[in-house]
Structure 1
Amino acid sequence: MSQSPVIPRKDSFGHLTDGREVNRYTFCNHNDVTVRVIELGCVITEIRVPDKQGVVSDINLGYDDVKEYETNLLTLGAICGRVVNVISNARFTLDGKEYHVTKNFGNHCIHGGKKSFTHQLWSSWIEDDKVKMKYVSPDGEEGFPGELTTTVSYQLTNQNELVIEYSATTNKPTPVNLTNHAYFNLAGQNFPNLDEHVLQINADKFTPTKENEIYIPSGEIRDITGTLYDLRQPVRLGDRLGKMPHGKGYFNNFCVANADGSLRLIATLAHPPTGRRMDVYTTEPGVQCYTAGDTIPHTRGKAGAVYEKLGSICLETQHYPDSVNQESFPDTILRPGQQFYSKTVYKFGLID
């Protein structure tokens, strides 16, 4: 296998309603793997990988047109920030001061607010074999303190690794928790369900949610042994999703086993009928497993596809949700002079 770098190429993906151009970058490696990303929201628009017969399909949900990404209510393929996931009651206290952020999820804040990183046009450039994108979030944006400068890089290797690196600095203390919100279906982005997918997550604990607000953590870190959240051994999703409470499948944060900030294998998703496999590595202490059980019913996507609930899965590497309000969760506060850094790798291949 060639070890030479995969150099991205740049073209135009179209224009926003205000006339600004959105650039697109395409990576193609020697194994027929193609990844495309755009500046708007740092979105991954395509991930095309071969199956065991050599048939190449797009396994990443998305849209055909830049105008649809301009709305992107489902954050398909996008970077979420400056705080991914929920902030309960859209407020938090930092260094004795209470901050109120945008309520865009009932009484709560999710994925950074209404005009979050997902909806920003990032600046971008090619640096060696990486595409780098930068966004400067002004002090007070969506209610968050401090000017936050965030850089995200994308890289595709000839080992079929999609490498995502995040870094950020701030001029005031502020919470930071970043992820990419790609939705996967290894059978193809237009396939209607996840039934034949097999999932394994290397986590021995999870953060349960409140009974009356099922997306808000209770603050407990609970052992998964003997529960439906025990995915330490491979589980066929068709045998598990229907048993999950509330009929929504998984929408839970899993606590990565023995997380110490090093890059480690934390999840594997496989699809035996096509032979496709995806391994997930991260430096983060958590991964949000979301099987699109509520917010995605009957949504029109790429190439005439219609996306249904429980038809795709997100494995969002991140710190725990609502960490700013949970003393027992890992800290997400970034301070001046510090640098936030995180790395996640999605590696594509075939089942052994």
Structure 2
Amino acid sequence: MQTRITQAPFGQLPNGETITQFTLTNANGLVAKIIDFGGIITELHAPGRDGKMADIVLGFETIEPYLADSPYFGALIGRYGNRIANGRFTLDGQEFTLPANNGSNHLHGGAPGFDKVKWIAIVDEDSLQLAYRSVDGEQGYPGNLDATVIYTLTDDNELIVRFHAVTDKATPVNLTQHSYFNLAGEDDILDHVLSIDADAFVAIDAESIPLGALAPVTGTPFDFRTPRPIGERIEQPDKQLRHGLGYDHNFVLNKPDGKAMTRAAHVCEPESGRVLELFTEEPGVQFYSGNFLDGSLKGKGRSYQHRSGFCLEPQHFPDSPNQPQFPNTILRPGEVYQTESRFRFSVVR
């Protein structure tokens, strides 16, 4: 392992605290830049088939836009990734109320969630470790939650994201990483060719809350079991596409061995040849096609237009605390929350 980690200031918070950007570089020249505010991946540089490097994640050059209402570019998400219906859940007979920050629903841990706090950073040889204590009652969640995230960039061109958490009271936990990718480094992502190893997805209502039943992908625009361009069917008159304004759905991964690490998704950008593969221990992956990007956000010398980035968020299912048929997301004292995902980058010739 030859990953080098350097650090430099990345601006200040309103309270005067300095934010640091950590640059991870592997032996092949792959570069990931991560800040200790929100654990945000601000840049990720990967080569194309011509050897030319491109920054393949959406983000900003300064801290100020991340402090504003940015759409979770590159951020760590918690305590609960995705939505909780009406900002409410009942746990062990007690009802808890969370802030509604997405219509009447609770999204991505609230405001602020883990994406809008400063993490304690430690450089450990070839890895960047980030730690945060979410105190009892923060955003309405019970218990003190101690969360740790470790980013490792390997010489196999994998960016590994490891999550660890413990609590002193039972609480929902569903942590994820929320980078927006564009493997071309420009324009939209509709020509990217995607495959997802999922026979089913979580159907949603008009507010993106699960209907409860899992929907088979067969015969729908959600069948990515064989590679398809993202834009090929995105405008079809499909009710689920209308609800998400495109793809914004949790895919139920085919995992015969339960929590075992499996390849969840494969994406190729044909012109550059860049490839992203996602491997994860999680039961689902939220595929989001950048439907709410509208050109109003600008960073790195360009504006982020409609569908100029996509997300593959490894996670448990949305609204699981209110959906007992979904895999469990309740962490209890004495238990350890532990999950790993790997983003692997390569090139097809």
* Alignment-derived partner of residue 161 in structure 1: 158
Alignment match of 1:54 (pick from 51, 55, 78)? 51
TM-aligned CA deviation for residue 128 of structure 1: 2.0
Secondary structure in structure 2 of the residue aligned to 1:327: coil
Larger deviation, residues 49-58 vs 253-262: 253-262
TM-score, normalising length: structure 2: 0.96
Larger deviation, residues 253-262 vs 169-178: 253-262
Contact kept, 8 Å, 2:167 with 2:331, in 1: the verdict is yes
After superposition, the C-alpha distances for 1:30-53 in whole angstroms (9 at most, x for unaligned) are 222100000000000000001000
Alignment match of 1:107 (pick from 96, 104, 108)? 104
Contact kept, 8 Å, 1:64 with 1:301, in 2: the verdict is no
TM-score, normalising length: structure 1: 0.95
After superposition, the C-alpha distances for 1:113-141 in whole angstroms (9 at most, x for unaligned) are 01110000001011121100000000000
Give the count of matched residue pairs: 344
TM-aligned CA deviation for residue 285 of structure 1: 0.2
**Is residue 269 from structure 1 mapped to residue 264 from structure 2 by the alignment?**
no
* Alignment-derived partner of residue 202 in structure 2: 207
Secondary structure in structure 2 of the residue aligned to 1:8: strand
Larger deviation, residues 303-312 vs 35-44: 303-312
Secondary structure in structure 1 of the residue aligned to 2:86: helix
**Is residue 332 from structure 1 mapped to residue 345 from structure 2 by the alignment?**
no
Please give the alpha-carbon distance, in whole angstroms, between the structure 2 residues aligned to 1:72 and 1:154: 25
Aligned 1:1-352 pairs, distance under 5 A: 4-188=1-185, 191-210=186-205, 212-213=206-207, 215-243=208-236, 245-246=241-242, 248-258=245-255, 260-294=258-292, 296-351=293-348
Please give the alpha-carbon distance, in whole angstroms, between the structure 1 residues aligned to 2:190 and 2:209: 27
Letter in 2 for 1:123: I
Please give the alpha-carbon distance, in whole angstroms, between the structure 2 residues aligned to 1:195 and 1:203: 20
Contact kept, 8 Å, 1:41 with 1:117, in 2: the verdict is yes
Please give the alpha-carbon distance, in whole angstroms, between the structure 2 residues aligned to 1:59 and 1:73: 18
After superposition, the C-alpha distances for 1:202-243 in whole angstroms (9 at most, x for unaligned) are 011111012x42x11101112111111110000012312222
Secondary structure in structure 2 of the residue aligned to 1:36: strand
Letter in 1 for 2:228: V
TM-aligned CA deviation for residue 338 of structure 1: 0.5
Unaligned runs of 5+ in 1: none
Secondary structure in structure 2 of the residue aligned to 1:252: strand
Structural RMSD (CA): 1.2
Contact kept, 8 Å, 2:2 with 2:27, in 1: the verdict is no
Contact kept, 8 Å, 2:147 with 2:166, in 1: the verdict is yes
Please give the alpha-carbon distance, in whole angstroms, between the structure 1 residues aligned to 2:115 and 2:109: 9
After superposition, the C-alpha distances for 1:241-295 in whole angstroms (9 at most, x for unaligned) are 222532822000000102511111110010111010000000000000000112x
TM-aligned CA deviation for residue 72 of structure 1: 4.4
Q: Identity percentage over the alignment? A: 38
Letter in 2 for 1:27: L
After superposition, the C-alpha distances for 1:172-209 in whole angstroms (9 at most, x for unaligned) are 00000010110000010xx2211220000001111101
Unaligned runs of 5+ in 2: none
Please give the alpha-carbon distance, in whole angstroms, between the structure 1 residues aligned to 2:226 and 2:268: 13
Contact kept, 8 Å, 1:167 with 1:340, in 2: the verdict is yes
Larger deviation, residues 298-307 vs 243-252: 243-252
